[in-house]
Structures are given as C-alpha cells and as structure tokens.
Amino acid sequence: MKRALTVALLLALATSPALAADTDTVAPVDTAITLEHAPHPFNVRDLVMMQRVSDPQLSPDGRYAAFGLRSTDYAANKGVNAIAVLDLSHDGQPVTVVAKGASSPRWAPDGKSLYYVAPVGGVAQLWRVDFVAGKSGLDLADHKPPVQVSHGVLDIQEYKLAPGGKSVLLAYAVFTDCGTLACTKAKQDRRAEDKATGTIYKKLFVRHWDTWSDGTRNQLYLGRFGANGLLPAEPTLLSRGIDGDIPSKPFGDDSEFAFSPDGRTVYFDVRIAGHSEPWSTNFDIYKVPSDGSAAPVNLTAENKAWDAYPVPSPDGRTLYYLAMKVPGFEADRFGIMALDLATGAKHEVDPQWDRSPGGMGISADGKTLYVTADDEGQHPLFAVDTANGKVRQLVGDGEVDGYSLAGSRLLLARNDLKHPTDLYTVSASGKDLRQVTHYNAALLKNAHEGDFEFFTFKGWHNEPVQGYVVKPADYRPGRKYPVAFIIHGGPQGAMTNSWSYRWNPQTYAGQGFAVVTINFHGSTGYGQKFTDSISGDWGGKPLEDLKLGWQAALDKYSFLDGNRACALGASYGGFMTYWIAGIWNQPWKCLVDHDGVFDSRMMYYATEELWFEEHENGGPQFEVPANYEKFNPLDHVKDWRVPMLVVHSGHDFRIPLSQGLGAFTALQRRGIPSEFLTFPDESHWVLKPHNSVLWHDTVNAWLKQWTAEPETQK
C-alpha cells in the first residue's frame, strides 16, 4: 500500500503581465465546469482544473528549462499533456509549447534538440524537435517541425539518451519468447481477434495494481540513430535472459537504468520474476554491454533485499545505487551504496544518516550526490558528500518532487501545502532560490486557502510525534469549527508540507472545516526505527498516537470543535478508520473510509503484493493466522455505531472491492446510517476529473450532514 504516484492534471490559464512566463496556454479553459472568478474558498473544482507542472529538465548549458504540462479537458473527462520550454536567462520570458499530446522531454547532449514521446496512430513513439541557434541563443518559438525518430510497432514505455547522443535505451513490453517487436505485435493482434475471452494463468501476478497481467515483460533495448537521425524498427535487446520488468511495474521509470559515461555499458535494476515475484523485493543491479554482445551480469547478488536506481560516477569508476537491507520489506531504509567497478568492493556512503533517500543524481565532478527524502514533515533536496557521506540540506520547506542538474545550476519542481508545483532554480550550493514559473497564481489569488501549523506532542511511550493543523479558509478568530481528522495511508508514509490532488487538506478547509492530521509511529521522515515500529502493530502504537494527537490538538487550538468531528482515511488510513469504528468511536460524529482493509485475513489472499502483507504480519496467513486476527476490524463490527461513508473502486487490486462491500454490508446489517460510493473504472486512487469532483462532493456532503450545528440538523 505504500507506493505513491504523482498524477498530473494541468490547465493553462491566462495570467497577468507580471507572470508573462505562464501565458502560453496548453488548452482553452473548458466551460463544462464553472470556476469562480470572484473571491471564494478553495474547492474541488479549483483543484481539478489547476495547471500541473512536472518532469523538469535543464538543458546542458543550464539556460533552458523543458518540462511537462497537463491541462484538464473536463468535458472529455481526461488530461491533456504537452511539452513546454522556458528561457531562464532573465525574468519574464514567455513559455513556448513545443508539442501537444506529448510527455517525457529530454535534451540532446548538444542542447540544441529536445526529444519527447507522443503517440502516432495510437502507438507511443520517440520524437525530436530541433531549435535554431542564433547569437542570442536558441529560437524557441521558431523551431523546426518535429521529427518522428522511431517507427516501432509497440509503445515506448521509457527511454534514455546515450552520453554522446548516438543511441538511446528503449523499454518495450514484449513477450519474452519473441525474437522481435513485430512478433509481440502479431501475438497481440491474434489475441484481439480471438472471440474467446478466457485467460489461463499458471503463476502470480495474475493482476497488479489496476491491470490484469497479459504475459508481457518490460525489456530493455538499445537503438542506434542512423545518419538520418532515425531509429531502426527492430532495436537490439540488452536484457537477454532476464525474466523481469525493466523498468519495474507498475510505477518504474528511466531512473532504473543508466549508461556509463563512455556509453559502452548499461546498468539496470530488476526483480527476477519466477514463481516468487509477488512475495519478493529482491531487486538487483545488472550490467550489460551496450552493443548486446554479452548477457547481463548481476552486480549485487549477495544482497537479497532491494538494490536499485544506478548512477555511475562521471569518471566511470564508481557505481552509486540505493539499497535496502531487509528482504521483503518495501519500506526499509534505502542506503546510498558505492560500488568500485574495478575491484567489486562496496560500501555505504551515508550510514550515519537516518533518512531514506530517493531521486539520486550526481554532480559533474563526482563529489556530490543529490537526493530527496522525507524529513520531519518536509521533503527537501539534500547534497551528500561522496567522500565522507556528510549530508547538507539545500532546499528546505515544502516538497521537491523533481529536479535536474546542469553545471552549477539546479532546476526544481517544488510545492507545499498552499501551492501546487512550480519550477524554481537554485545554485548547486543551495543559494539564490528563485521561482521561475507561477502557474495557478491567478486562480489562487481568488481561491482562499487555510493557513497551517505543525505541532509536536508526546505520543506512544512519551516519544515525540508530529502533526499539523490547517485552519478553515476565511478563518475568524474566536469561532469554533468542525474538524476533518485525516489518517494517512502507507502505512509507511506521512502527511507532509506538500500539495496533493488527492486528500488535499485545502479542499476541506475550503468547506469550512479545520483539518488535523498525525504522523503516527510508522510514518516516514522521523528515522527508520520510527518507521519500523508499525510493522506487526497496526492497531497499537499508531492508534495511541492518534488518540494523544487528537487530544493535544484540542488542547492547543481552541478553534477546533471536538464535538463536531469526523475521521477519514484511505488505504492503511482506511484500515484504521474501520479499526477505530470498533475500538475508538467515541469522539466521531461520522467516518469516511476509502479503499480500506476490512478483513485482514482475506486481505492476504486477495491482494497482489504479498511481500507487504507477509512482512507486516510476520509471515503468510496460513503460518501465523493469529497475527492476522490481532488487529482485524471485522472482529469488532458488533461495536460499530458511527455513521460511515464507504468508498471503494472496482479496479483497486491492492485492496480489492470486496473489502469495501463487506464493510458496507456490516453497516447495513447493523442498521448504522451508511452510504457506499463505488467507481468501477478507478483504481486505488480516484483520478478522472468528473470522478474526483463526485468523490469530493459526496465526502463533503457526508461531513456536513453529521457535523452540522444542532439547530441546522433539527
């Protein structure tokens, strides 16, 4: 349940002259949804129509920013992608949209061309746009027509350009018994034409996250650009003999493979599938010649836990990567490892740092690694000295959710609890932080948000625990407000100072609610011991923290009306909502449960990633059944009494639909006021614009119904 996915939905709106860098729209404002232009509290309609910025890519000379945009076509109920480029040489430069319906921008090594992925006839292909260089730099607006450089029969899943720009790594989903991409396409076509719809499975995964297995594997290929700049229809397979996905499914990306500086070697990570794939986290790092002349070689076979995200040093002598130490535990701490490629010797660079880094990059001189990590309610950018492992925070408050490095400059994608993602530049030393885009500024000027504050209290065993409170939009001192008590998922996650398009506290603040949330034992960003402490104790220490945090918030913030409060949670937060329905239901006027675990026993046999259940419960259910019953919400239905809204989606294979249906059946049979909202086309998250609006409208109506003043209820 831990992994998260950032889902982008960007709408380009006209801005004031002071924000000239953001005036180039991706799509017209859709009139199928009404946006308020007068001052008003922030709401879900503002949320779904916001511009969303992602995937920052800095040109090799550090002057130009390429990035992804996504607008919302509300009438069509979908997002619309685009690629934009911005000249960073001075403020006020206009944004140029170079490709619509495109994603994954990457600069060519010479900085004069930009590659991206866009569909042709329904197949994702690689494209290149060439810019004309003049005395004053690239002419972004008057670029040459884009060129389609790949003509394969399958979708490009991910890609990465070689250091010299003469070749490219390509990931395709193929049948591994096929020798060509055309063979896979022919098999797919035959399946589509077959009138029989049955599928025979001989091993797990049968389905994963939100997709049924079709027998294909993501495999890694190398394509060489011809003299005409085009790729061959059949590239060279590099992952020969690898029974696994490169990149990994369902959320892997191009950070899972890399070229050596000279382009002769490719490094990638993969979990060998076999029979044990659903209960294994044993990823390993492999190397393979980029010409495909030899089979891949495992470089980390001795570690049975997770090794991934290879980053070669600029001199080619060292391979840095991230590694866990506990097999089968997806939330173990990632340590930064250094592998001497000549001797094979390995050591941990940062053993003294009790955080779990990700998103690793390296400076041109090889002396500094850049990473991000959860850290006490924030998600900053850090610099790590490769020689001594010393860690220094470069950019602090809020969340850095992506970055790109060129020379002495960094381009950041950054957000916080009151601002969605925008682009910033900062020096490699962390100085001169400057915001360079201001998407959504006009919208947020009129959409009032709530201020927030972190607080710390004594939780389980008097250990310090952090939470935060968000005031209602248009807060007035002296008034009391109903409360939305949000319980985060994961469970190894955290509610941080970051913007979200799901479970965004500002959507509740805009409805007149105060928000309280607690980063209970098990949350990330407070040290690995704190994170580990929830395993085997889902209903213990975290519940104690929630109780103590709720009381601490009531004692500290007089505007919280403890008599008009509802608790809400999703995933693990949904488990906790079902758990407190029978264990700690006294404070709550209502509950909202989204895709939660209702029956811990059946959850083991119905979910897909068994490693998660087995680690959290100390083994398979058939070996340790008592562990699965220790905190099973189903066993306490007799004590349920609080009105509950249950939300569960049909394509959620992580926590299947029967969990929500079972809970709703229990509520109805007990005669407890309850409603059930289901989305047959959504997964663990509700992503489609119309569905998101319906979700928020339904949840908000439920909260208001049960937290209304007595006079209003009467």
Q: What DSSP assignment string belongs to 543-609?
A: HHHHHHHHHHHHHH-TTEEEEEEEEEEETHHHHHHHHHHHHS-TT-SEEEEES--S-HHHHHHH-S-
pLDDT at 23 over 60: no
Q: Which of 523, 571, 649, 674 is catalytic?
A: 571
pLDDT class of 143 with cuts at 50, 70, 90:
confident
Q: Which of 313, 488, 652, 683 is catalytic?
A: 652
- Reported as a single tens digit per residue, the pLDDT across 549-569 is 999 999 999 999 999 999 999
Of 40, 151, 129, 52, nearest to 499 (Cα)? 52
Angle between helices 572-583 and 541-556 (to 10 degrees): 80
What was the pLDDT predicted at 712?
56
CB-based burial of residue 334 (10 Å sphere; 0-12 exposed, 13-18 middle, 19+ buried)? Answer: buried
Judge contact between 411 and 86, C-beta under 8 A. no
What was the pLDDT predicted at 16?
28
What was the pLDDT predicted at 24?
36
What was the pLDDT predicted at 32?
54
What was the pLDDT predicted at 90?
86
- Is 684 known to be catalytic? yes
State what percent of residues in the chain have pLDDT above 70.
95
What was the pLDDT predicted at 20?
32
pLDDT at 259 over 60: yes
- Reported as a single tens digit per residue, the pLDDT across 575-628 is 999 999 999 999 999 999 999 999 999 999 999 999 999 999 999 999 999 999
- Reported as a single tens digit per residue, the pLDDT across 73-104 is 999 999 999 999 999 998 888 999 999 999 99
- Is 104 known to be catalytic? no
- Is 593 known to be catalytic? no
Tell me what the mean pLDDT of segment 657-684 comes to: 98
pLDDT class of 27 with cuts at 50, 70, 90:
very low
Rounded CA separation 457/45 (Å): 35
Structure pTM?
0.94
Q: Work out the mean pLDDT of the chain and round it to a whole number.
A: 94
Neighbours of 711 (CB within 10 A): 6
- Reported as a single tens digit per residue, the pLDDT across 321-358 is 999 999 999 999 999 999 999 999 999 999 999 999 99
CA 492-246-317 angle, 5° bins: 90
3-state helix, strand, coil in the chain (%, to 5): 20, 35, 45
- Reported as a single tens digit per residue, the pLDDT across 261-303 is 999 999 999 999 889 999 999 999 999 999 999 999 999 999 9
Residue 320 backbone dihedrals phi, psi, to 5 degrees: -95, 145
Pairing mode of beta strands 644-649, 674-679: parallel
682 in helix, strand or coil? Answer: coil
What was the pLDDT predicted at 166?
97
